[in-house]
Structure 1
Amino acid sequence: MSIWEPSVGATDEWYTPAYVFAAMDPIMFDLDVAAPKAGPVHVPAHEWFWSDSLNCQWCDFIWMNPPFGGRNGLVPWLDKFFAHGNGIALTPDRTSAPWWQDANRRADATLFVAGKIKFERPDGSIGKSPGTGTTLFAAGPRAVAALHRAEAAGLGVTMRRGAA
């Protein structure tokens, strides 16, 4: 679930399209920590949290497309994601934002999605392009490998980490 610059009368729930997961194939998540209330859409996962996820125990390999609302609204989600250390997080690519710069430093790999993802609405229709692009952050070797597969499939470009 995400909030993409909502307009009056419009929904603020937007779901990741299937082609994002197809680009990382083979991929299976153990847990989607921010699943849509109507149930899983395209996320290949064994389990889903759709409420109170920040207060729940996360386990194994996770997918996280959290609510994007409010200034610094992603910070608690990203803090928990990086503390967990095993999964992939989808966020807007607001590279000038302090939260984004912090997340990028903490990530094991970062993929900039080519073009703008057209997210899906709860009714299954395709939304217009959001006002910003999308970043995938990897935590852990399994997530890094998935982002490299996504890059090879043409989803975007992975920021390589150099030796420190």
Structure 2
Amino acid sequence: MTPYVIQLSLLAAASALLVAAGSDLRRYLIPDTCSLILLASFALYALTGATQGAWPLHLAIFALVFLIGLGLFAAGLAGGGDVKLLAATALWAGPALLAGLVVIMSLAGGLLAVIVLTRIWWLRRLAPADLREHLGASIAQQPIPYGVAIASGGLFVLARYAGLLG
């Protein structure tokens, strides 16, 4: 039964990350249920013994990332949904995969920034005049859906647990 529970927890976590990324792309909003599913699926995963007793370190990473995220949120540098999703994803990463999570998330976030900046440039320079007038100042205020970057890093972490990556 344990292998099925492990597979179920990985599938639930991956699904939550994909839903979070899709929602952030469409509405710039990450549902709290996605972060809660990540937390619950990790608890299920840990109960199988798959963390080999390292779950307290995973909890410490979760708490540290959440506290740093709270500071970023308070400073207006991160959204609340991003903070919760990243902390829940860091819980899965733990100490062994935290660096990989951060690297993949940073690369994906950089790519997202380039895409958003390219879109802004295109709208300012190449879009028809009536479209530019219609959009007005909102062109320059495009947020970056960082939930997509967090989900990218999280999917990397889950793929490592599933044995899909070396």
- What TM-score bracket applies, with the shorter chain setting the length? under 0.3
TM-score of the superposed pair, with normalisation by structure 1 = 0.25
Tell me which protein shows more strand as a share of its residues. Answer: 1
TM-score of the superposed pair, with normalisation by structure 2 = 0.24
Higher relative contact order (CA 8 A, sep 6+): 2
Rg (Cα) greater in structure: 2
